Structure 1
Amino acid sequence: MSNQSNAGQLKGSLGIMDVVMITVSGVTPASSIFVIAPFAIQSAGSGSFLSFIFAGLIAVALALCYAELGAAHPSAGGEYTIVQRLFGQAAGLQMYLFVLCMLLFIPAVLATGAATYLNSALGTNFDSATVALVVVVLSYAIGILDIKTNALVTGAFLALEVLVLLIVVWLGFSHPHQSVDVLTHPQMLDAQGGLADVPFGIIVAMVGTALFSYNGYGAAIYLAEDMHKTGRPLAIAILLTLIIVVLMELVPLTALLLGSPSLTELAKSSDPISYVITQLGNPTLARIISAGIFLSVFNAIIAIVVQNARFLYASGRDGLWNKGLNQALVKLHPKFGTPWVATLLFAIPSALLTFNSNLGELTSFTVIILLLAYMSMAISALFSRHTSTHHPYHMPLWPIPSLVVLLGGGYTLFTILKSSSAKDLMIVAGIIAFGLLMFVFKRQVNKTADASA
């Protein structure tokens, strides 16, 4: 049952580069390197380089799937709209919950890691939960503003983010302490505190973390209804975003690994990235970079808020909830033309999640959900061409990119699940079970409505 008749229309004011600026800002390559990549370095040492390479190959294949599907099915609902159109309401609801959980947790994951860099920049000792809460609340407030204003704001912050990463690249490549061999023959910390070869299984396991670090290029599809033109321009925006993101993350990571004075100390450090910068630069430069990273996290959350609001708006327009909530979600701000109720509703759980200070716990099960969502999109790309829907963009070498995502993502998922905690598995199983219950409930409601009509 659609609620489209009650929905306001989003402003079609964005061009390709506007979408790219917002989407790259949402990925926030700088904070991905400084907040997410340390997990891979601590677990796989210099093997994190190969993890990011393998993840990049999967990401390219997946971006091609997103580009073709987004061009053929342009909707602010993104992945769930695509899956629902192709496979029905049950599959669509499950995809909706997967994406919803990711969108809820990612701002909290990023914001929780922001306090470290704010304190490093200012020499303060602010509580991480307090900083995260303030960042999230301000980001959602800004997210209500006009979409074009948000594109300009995120673009300005993105320029600062690029400058910070260029400094990191210069530091690492101009002061190399490691040979290129540490990238092709990776080493990690062993149980005795020395260096040992990295098992291939660990490298594969960290591909999931690397994919989480790259994640967000496909979020351009949430802005489809904000664009002047969809179709092929949306596909170009997705692919251009992916190229920028991979380069902005892989090059600095390589520079940091080669510039590290000691791989042993790098792996031992609780903050491996700051260790390298402090060793290669000076305290003042380290503080400047920390300030830039904090601002990049802030910028990322603003961009993610913009995307999240469109996703929730689409669910109300498509009648996913009860009548009252659907009507609230599609309300647009009278001045800014943005889905302000949907924006504020997302702010509440995101703010509450900031009180969970364990960044690892927030990240771990989210990677599993991410891989399940990716594989669902790859399957969608295999089937979409067999429908009557017009496809303005056709990925090259179809269906190979879809198969690459399925095989690479499936193997990575299998490797991660073998070592996942019972808590992570229970959370994922709970999300799947809730999706099935939600489908059964909606089907019953629809039957009752049809009978009364």
Structure 2
Amino acid sequence: MSSSTPQAGALKPSLGVFDVVAITVSAVTPASSVFVIAPFAIQQAGSGAFLAFVMAAVLALMFAWCYAELGRAHSSAGGEYVYAKRVFGGMAGYATFLTVLVSLLFIPPVLATGAATYLNGALGTHFDTPTVALAIVAASYALGILNIKLNAWITGCCLLLEVAALLVIVVLGFGHATQPVSTLLHPQFLAGGVLAAAPWALVIGAVGTALFSYNGFGGAVLLAEDMHDGGRSVHRAVLWSLVLVVVIELVPLTALLIGAPSLQDMLASPDPIGYLLTAHGNATLSRLVSAGIFLSVFNAIVAIVIQVGRVIFSSGRDALWTPALNRAFTRIHPRWESPWLATLFLGVPSAALSFSSNLADLTSFTVLLLVMVYLAVALCALFSRVLRRDREHPYRMPLWPLPAMLAVLGAGYLLLNQLLGASTRDVMIILGILALSVILYGTYGKLSPAFQKL
């Protein structure tokens, strides 16, 4: 076997920090966060959305420090479930693994449905949304099994196009600055159709929405085994990913609010960004921006599919499944050097969800799952140094344990809010995931030497 051919069951280390950051930031898809999620924050808190995004960035930094320390200390393509298993034991590992798995199942079809809308906007067409979403998911999985170095280049190029679309908002907003800076620091919202001071309760209530817009920076830890240095710089990849995501999202949001010809009219508009484009741009510009958003969402799905492959590859290596599935999931393609069967595992059910008529409900359920994962990561970071003294922690977050404690409190608060607003069906699915984790751990988990030694 040549040195350039990866061994069976082993990923070929071929990425640097820049490559990992490119894939990770693409998975976050900052453009769709600005164009799709930011308007929800504006509807919630008016111009207080700016402060909500700033506070969410501070909270996200707490989580990023947790991911950075855990990713360096427990370097693994499995990410969150590996941390949970090593810190709290096998049951926690299985529960976290299934939670991550279900969230990765739902995210591509949800994003693809939104991308279909922007594709029609860019082309001026009326293609059937579920059919377009299905094609997007299928194409994303096809690209996801290719060589990861090639995918890093593809996602990096698409990320540049994504940033170009956001620069349109930045140029239009700051180029036609109308509102004073006090609009950002003294939030206003519409009360009965009239501008009024926004209560802090509204601003804080929008922090969860803003945090969701930053979600995905922790995905860098899933590519630790793909790095040249064996993951020794994965903590830098996590932190740089968050910094870029915050800048790429916060600057256009600021320009949007500053450049509004009328703050009252913008807050009253169901499409604040469309309002700005109409006021300062034209129809052609709007279509070009729609094309940029479509590319950004498609790029994000490809990056997420790559992460899916790494998580399932790791689960096969740790023997979380039947022997036949474990062998299939650890198989590396001789040409593409990727865990191709592991990557394709969720392809069919994920594509099938493109035809779901309840994607809005799936979106809220996905947010619930993501907050659960955040809480697991925060708890692992809080107790890893105490419960795993046998494992070195080469990167140590500053001021530990304060950031980890703040992350636990933040995730706990958000999870409580999500559960209070969740449907009975969603709660039952969560309980089902926990029950299934008990069953799987009681069968395959306890019989797996690889998982027990993990």
Q: TM-score normalised to the size of structure 2?
A: 0.91
* Structure-2 residue corresponding to 1:451: none
Contact 1:208 1:371 in 2 (8 A): no
What letter matches 1:87 in structure 2?
A: F
Distance 1:179 1:359 in 2: 38
What letter matches 1:111 in structure 2?
A: A
* Structure-1 residue corresponding to 2:130: 129
Distance 2:371 2:303 in 1: 22
Deviations 1:164-207 (A, max 9, x none): 212211111122333333323323344x4444444434433322
Distance 1:360 1:269 in 2: 21
What letter matches 1:333 in structure 2?
A: H
Contact 2:34 2:253 in 1 (8 A): yes
Distance 1:360 1:313 in 2: 30
* Structure-2 residue corresponding to 1:206: 206
Contact 1:76 1:224 in 2 (8 A): yes
* Structure-2 residue corresponding to 1:408: 410
* Structure-2 residue corresponding to 1:429: 431
Q: Structure 2: which 5+ residue stretches go unaligned?
A: 1-6, 450-454
C-alpha change, 1:72 and 1:152, in structure 2 (3 Å) is: same
Contact 1:222 1:311 in 2 (8 A): yes
* Structure-1 residue corresponding to 2:223: 223
- What is the correspondence of 1:234-273 to structure 2 with a 5 Å cutoff? 234-273=234-273
Tell me the SS of whatever aligns to 1:36.
helix
Distance 2:203 2:442 in 1: 40
C-alpha change, 1:72 and 1:446, in structure 2 (3 Å) is: closer
Report the more deviating stretch, 364-373 or 141-150.
364-373
Distance 1:364 1:202 in 2: 19
Deviations 1:9-59 (A, max 9, x none): 111011111111111111111112112223222333222222211211111
Shift of 1:341: 0.8
Shift of 1:229: 0.8
Deviations 1:366-414 (A, max 9, x none): 2222222112111111222232111221111111110121122222333
What letter matches 2:122 in structure 1?
A: A
Distance 1:177 1:424 in 2: 44
Instruction: Find out whether 1:146 has 2:147 as its counterpart.
Output: yes
Contact 2:225 2:231 in 1 (8 A): no
* Structure-1 residue corresponding to 2:28: 27
Q: TM-score normalised to the size of structure 1?
A: 0.92
Distance 2:427 2:242 in 1: 30
C-alpha change, 1:131 and 1:270, in structure 2 (3 Å) is: farther
What letter matches 2:440 in structure 1?
A: M
C-alpha change, 1:444 and 1:333, in structure 2 (3 Å) is: closer
Contact 1:104 1:346 in 2 (8 A): yes
Distance 1:266 1:122 in 2: 26
C-alpha change, 1:385 and 1:165, in structure 2 (3 Å) is: same
Contact 1:78 1:222 in 2 (8 A): yes
Instruction: Find out whether 1:392 has 2:361 as its counterpart.
Output: no
Contact 2:214 2:246 in 1 (8 A): yes
Distance 2:235 2:120 in 1: 40
Report the more deviating stretch, 104-113 or 141-150.
104-113
C-alpha change, 1:417 and 1:180, in structure 2 (3 Å) is: farther
Report the more deviating stretch, 68-77 or 37-46.
37-46
C-alpha change, 1:44 and 1:108, in structure 2 (3 Å) is: farther
Contact 2:224 2:234 in 1 (8 A): yes
Report the more deviating stretch, 307-316 or 101-110.
101-110
Q: Structure 1: which 5+ residue stretches go unaligned?
A: 1-5, 448-453
Shift of 1:429: 3.2
- What is the correspondence of 1:24-423 to structure 2 with a 5 Å cutoff? 24-190=25-191, 192-386=192-386, 387=388, 388-423=390-425
Contact 1:364 1:424 in 2 (8 A): no
Report the more deviating stretch, 38-47 or 72-81.
38-47
Contact 2:172 2:280 in 1 (8 A): yes
Distance 2:22 2:182 in 1: 35
* Structure-2 residue corresponding to 1:3: none
C-alpha change, 1:403 and 1:273, in structure 2 (3 Å) is: same
What letter matches 1:64 in structure 2?
A: W
What letter matches 2:287 in structure 1?
A: R
Distance 2:159 2:418 in 1: 32
Tell me the SS of whatever aligns to 1:25.
helix
Contact 1:365 1:427 in 2 (8 A): no
Identity of aligned residues (%): 56
Contact 1:231 1:392 in 2 (8 A): no
Distance 2:447 2:217 in 1: 36
Distance 1:8 1:370 in 2: 28
What letter matches 2:310 in structure 1?
A: R
What letter matches 1:428 in structure 2?
A: I
Distance 1:54 1:28 in 2: 20
What letter matches 2:53 in structure 1?
A: F
C-alpha change, 1:382 and 1:93, in structure 2 (3 Å) is: same
Shift of 1:288: 1.0
What letter matches 1:19 in structure 2?
A: V
What letter matches 2:242 in structure 1?
A: L
Deviations 1:86-135 (A, max 9, x none): 11110001111221122122212211111221112111112221221111
